[in-house]
């Protein structure tokens, strides 16, 4: 037996005041994400700012180890060319590095503010160009007293490493390799024209080719980084949108709970208020109909009283249906389960609707499989299932029609109750409508007795509470078959009798 928890009708469900700060945060996140995606392509200012900040951060991290390669290069240059050229080179390189680091420091100081990425990009490129002058000075240096190719190999190695390191560290700055080593390219073109030796030409050509290759590599890395930022922005926007959708669905759920609570409060209040006068109407009309206190004296009045009693009974049935569905939806419907026989319940229900069926000259065909074992179910719920199905069949079956009631085994070892009529049928697109609360098909509106449209939804809910399955099959102008299936787990197997020697 299932018992639902007591519901407090005055319990406050929604506290919308606590949701406002969170909604404001999500709205700000959405605006920021959409601003990052407001322009298509790779020229989005927000992305460019993020790349410049990433570039400045990488330079600041590299500044701690930058003096080591500079001093090493100056030391090697002093060995080949003497102290004066080496000192001049280190001063020029230090000037360019200090200028670049100062620009980087100022950029990081303004990182949290809105700034013009193009202006700061030009300043950073100017700093790299200042360092490039030192590399051009190294490429233009010469050593007449050095051995064959010794100084040339030193220049080649240092310049190649400088190009590679610049491309790897500063790739987030667009065009950095070309701008930083444009002076080196001019010097290399000049030396290639003045020194036609094959070895020197090949080394200069390799350097020129490496500049082009590393420039392409740096640009590809920059585009990949830009794409990562774009994907991150899209993910942020998606998360923010999901947060908003979740908030909207949560708000809708809370509103639905409030509406359901108001409905439950109304039904709990009105059920007693409606049933009390209805009981009086039914009781007194029955007394007058049976003339318990004396003859009415007028046949027309007696007919009116019978109509009043019939209308009151119909209204009470509608109220009971609405209250039953409300209890089921609220989880407050109690199942009093016991061992019952579906065939016995089906026979009893046939006798209840037999009067209405005879009034329309409808014939019943009862097909019950013999020796069906009992099932574990709520007899009141099963009785309501069968009565609702039979009442619907009587409503929709035309005068002189027939209804088939079957009870038997399913293929899976369960038991079923099926009711088939030869009424007008239901169009396939209207089956979900008639299975919904207060839903009625077009044929019901045109030809059948009016009701609330809760018969089949109640059947469906009660069958589901018994872990079963409800099926509705219909063909237009051929009839409808409704099947309530109880699973094998609810069938009480009969144990065979033990023999005398057991």
Let me know: does 383 contact 345? Beta carbons within 8 Å: yes
Which pLDDT score is estimated for 447? 52
d(Cα 363, Cα 360) in Å, to the nearest integer? 9
pLDDT band at 298 (very low <50, low <70, confident <90, very high): confident
Of the spans 140-144, 150-154, 337-341, which averages the highest pLDDT? 337-341
Which pLDDT score is estimated for 373? 92
Q: What is the CA radius of gyration of the chain?
A: 45
Mean pLDDT computed over 184-196: 84
pLDDT band at 497 (very low <50, low <70, confident <90, very high): very low
Question: Beta 479-486 vs 469-475: how paired, if at all?
Answer: antiparallel
Which pLDDT score is estimated for 445? 44
The pLDDT tens digits of the residues spanning 220-270 come to: 988 888 888 888 878 887 888 888 888 888 888 888 888 877 776 776 666
Which pLDDT score is estimated for 213? 92
| 4-13, 189-198, 312-321, 380-389: segment of lowest average pLDDT | 4-13
284: pLDDT strictly greater than 70: yes
Which pLDDT score is estimated for 76? 86
Question: In terms of Cα–Cα distance, which of 175, 213, 205 is closest to 188?
Answer: 205
Mean pLDDT computed over 163-188: 88
- Give one word for 495, left, alpha or beta, with left for phi > 0 and alpha for psi -120 to 50: beta
484: pLDDT strictly greater than 90: yes
- Mean pLDDT, the chain, rounded, equals 80
pLDDT band at 500 (very low <50, low <70, confident <90, very high): low
Which pLDDT score is estimated for 420? 92
For residues 314 and 475, the model is more confident at 475
The burial of 445, by beta-carbon neighbours within 10 Å (0-12 exposed, 13-18 middle, 19 or more buried), is given as exposed
Which pLDDT score is estimated for 3? 39
Question: In terms of Cα–Cα distance, which of 62, 85, 172, 203 is closest to 134?
Answer: 85
pLDDT band at 109 (very low <50, low <70, confident <90, very high): confident
Q: Mind listing the domains of the chain with CATH numbers?
A: 19-243 (no CATH), 337-490 (3.30.565.10)
Share of the chain above pLDDT 90, in %: 12
Which pLDDT score is estimated for 486? 93
10: pLDDT strictly greater than 50: no
Let me know: does 414 contact 486? Beta carbons within 8 Å: yes
Which pLDDT score is estimated for 416? 94
3-state secondary structure string across 115-143: CCHHHHHHHHHHHHHHHHHHHHHHHHCCC
467: pLDDT strictly greater than 80: yes
Which pLDDT score is estimated for 451? 52
Which pLDDT score is estimated for 335? 81
Which pLDDT score is estimated for 140? 86
Share of the chain above pLDDT 70, in %: 82
394: pLDDT strictly greater than 80: yes
Give kind and range of the element (H or E) at residue 445. helix 442-447
Mean pLDDT computed over 71-79: 86
**Model pTM score:** 0.47
d(Cα 260, Cα 455) in Å, to the nearest integer? 20
């Amino acid at each position: 037996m299932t018992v639902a928890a007591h519901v407090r009708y005055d319990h406050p469900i929604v506290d919308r005041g606590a949701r406002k700060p969170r909604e404001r945060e999500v709205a700000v996140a959405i605006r920021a994400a959409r601003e990052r995606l407001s322009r298509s392509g790779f020229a989005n200012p927000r992305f460019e700012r993020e790349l410049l900040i990433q570039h400045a951060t990488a330079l600041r991290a590299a500044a701690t180890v930058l003096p080591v390669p500079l001093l090493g290069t100056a030391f090697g240059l002093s060995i080949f060319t003497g102290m004066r050229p080496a000192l001049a080179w280190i001063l020029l390189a230090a000037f360019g590095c200090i200028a670049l680091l100062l620009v980087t420091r100022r950029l990081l100081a303004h990182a949290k503010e809105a700034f013009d990425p193009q202006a700061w990009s030009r300043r950073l490129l100017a700093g790299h160009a200042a360092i490039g002058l030192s590399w051009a000075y190294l490429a233009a240096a010469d050593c007449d007293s050095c051995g064959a190719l010794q100084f040339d190999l030193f220049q080649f190695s240092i310049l190649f490493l400088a190009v590679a390191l610049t491309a790897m560290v500063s790739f987030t700055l667009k065009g950095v390799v070309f701008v930083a080593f444009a002076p080196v390219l001019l010097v290399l073109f000049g030396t290639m024209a003045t020194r036609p030796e094959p070895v020197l030409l090949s080394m200069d050509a390799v350097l020129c080719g490496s500049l082009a290759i590393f420039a392409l590599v740096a640009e590809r890395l920059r585009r990949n980084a830009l794409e990562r930022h774009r994907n991150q922005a899209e993910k942020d926007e998606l998360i923010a949108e999901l947060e908003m959708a979740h908030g909207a669905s949560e708000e809708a759920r809370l509103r639905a709970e409030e509406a359901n609570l108001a409905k439950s409060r109304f039904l709990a209040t009105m059920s007693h208020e409606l049933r009390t006068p209805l009981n009086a109407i039914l009781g007194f009309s029955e007394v007058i109909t049976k003339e318990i206190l004396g003859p009415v004296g007028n046949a027309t009045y007696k007919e009116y009283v019978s109509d009043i009693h019939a209308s009151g009974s119909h209204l009470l049935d509608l109220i009971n249906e609405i209250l039953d569905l409300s209890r089921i939806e609220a989880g407050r419907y109690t199942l009093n389960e016991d061992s019952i026989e579906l065939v016995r319940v089906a026979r009893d229900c046939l006798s209840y609707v037999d009067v209405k069926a005879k009034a329309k000259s409808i014939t019943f065909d009862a097909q019950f499989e013999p020796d069906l074992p009992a099932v574990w179910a709520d007899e009141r719920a099963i009785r309501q299932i069968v009565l609702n199905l039979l009442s619907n069949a009587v409503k929709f079956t035309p005068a002189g029609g027939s209804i088939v009631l079957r009870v038997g085994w399913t293929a899976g070892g369960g038991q079923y109750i099926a009711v088939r009529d030869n009424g007008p049928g239901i169009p396939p697109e209207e089956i979900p409508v008639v299975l919904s609360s207060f839903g009625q098909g077009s044929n019901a509106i045109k030809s059948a007795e009016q009701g609330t449209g809760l018969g089949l939804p109640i059947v469906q809910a009660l069958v589901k509470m018994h872990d079963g399955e409800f099926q509705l099959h219909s063909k237009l102008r051929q009839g409808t078959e409704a099947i309530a299936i109880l699973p094998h787990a609810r069938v009480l197997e009969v144990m065979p009798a033990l023999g005398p020697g057991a």
